[in-house]
Structure 1
């Protein structure tokens, strides 16, 4: 196995985007998003945060569906591509160690997600995490989950995770099972598994895997 820490080295992700090694990027909105997003019960105009968003087509779907989008991403190239594909000319400004790309109904912070603060981010109504938790090595996931809850006020969340035999292939995406999801989020949220499905053809075409959609709703205390 390769050194897992290398996966979160900035150079690792920058090189992937530069070389076009973006198999994780989908050309259409994720069907798990379109099937289950309504379970968050959001009013139109609600603001949805996508951590480690890349140039996902999920953003176009959310905007077209009447929601506002906030995101965080390491790669400036991905975000330049995103705005080009959306047909938007962003306003670009420096915010602390981050670069903010903004247009009508969309704000993306480029840089280290751990530099994104609640103050920078502003009010968030929900989180959609399809590619962030599963992109991080095990020793960073707890820190990430705590940070995500802190900067969003533990907003309701739609989370996608994978489960497979991690010894057979390298991540990302990494295998994150139910026990782990509950360990990170169980104290703040009520967790409901709303769909579990097999990954068609296996993960990366190499190993059998399931994909789970989690609905995380704040516990009432």
Structure 2
């Protein structure tokens, strides 16, 4: 999997990972984190997620990063926003109100741009990556978030041998292995996804989703 894979998915509109409503687990569990209004929230591999608009509506400042310019353009167009743009070392920045999207490589973001992110929301980033990139993602990108940062991580679990990702199955033991050294990890909920649900991963015998609360040491 490389950048071309994701650019092709967006160009062909094969974006089954996109949801037409904010993530229910986000709405249910976000208040547990106690993130204050005005705080900056990081959304990695953001696509055109409606979660960004929901977070902004809660009074947060949103910083998303997304590789696909198509996704970034569609997000602002679908919300009737006219963003200002600026080219920086991270990529092209799009800003409209309290939402900022960087069109570029998430791994290129450094501690400087992430230094005031008090929270992170990850629904479709970790599970979009194969094992080697998951280790790099958690070890490198998350290490650049500041001490005290809080977050929600949403994962999927299914028999991995039944299907090649993405999305990939990421169980609780792996979450702990990836984040447990530098983050306090607490699983808040795990629930089955029924076969008739639009988010069901075709070709697997069972599918669960889990949500974890994270806090940076």
**Global fold match (TM > 0.5):** yes
Is contact 1:109-1:116 (8 Å) kept?
Answer: no
Q: Provide the rounded CA distance (Å) in 1 between the counterparts of 2:115 and 2:87.
A: 16
Query: Are residue 45 (structure 1) and residue 43 (structure 2) matched?
Result: no
- In structure 2, list runs of 5 or more residues that go unmatched: none
The equivalent residue for 2:203 is 206
Residues 166-181 of structure 1: matches in 2 within 5 Å?
Answer: 166-181=160-175
Partner-residue secondary structure (3-state), 1:42: coil
Is contact 2:114-2:146 (8 Å) kept?
Answer: no
> What is the CA-CA distance between 1:149 and the residue it aligns to?
2.2
- State the Cα deviation string for residues 68-123 of structure 1 (Å, max 9, x = none): 10011110110101111222111111111511111221111111111111223441
Q: Provide the rounded CA distance (Å) in 2 between the counterparts of 1:72 and 1:122.
A: 15
Residues 1-221 of structure 1: matches in 2 within 5 Å?
Answer: 6=1, 9-154=2-147, 155-201=149-195, 203-207=200-204, 208-219=206-217
Is contact 1:70-1:107 (8 Å) kept?
Answer: yes
- State the Cα deviation string for residues 108-150 of structure 1 (Å, max 9, x = none): 1111111111223441010000011110110111110122222
Q: Provide the rounded CA distance (Å) in 1 between the counterparts of 2:5 and 2:38.
A: 35
Is contact 1:90-1:103 (8 Å) kept?
Answer: yes
The equivalent residue for 1:3 is none
Q: Provide the rounded CA distance (Å) in 2 between the counterparts of 1:200 and 1:95.
A: 44
Shifted more, 204-213 versus 124-133: the winner is 204-213
Partner-residue secondary structure (3-state), 1:162: strand
Q: Which 4+ runs in 1 deviate beyond 6 A? A: none
Is contact 1:89-1:103 (8 Å) kept?
Answer: yes
Change (3 A) 1:162 1:28: same
Partner-residue secondary structure (3-state), 2:144: helix
Is contact 1:50-1:69 (8 Å) kept?
Answer: yes
- In structure 1, list runs of 5 or more residues that go unmatched: 1-5
Q: Provide the rounded CA distance (Å) in 2 between the counterparts of 1:122 and 1:186.
A: 21
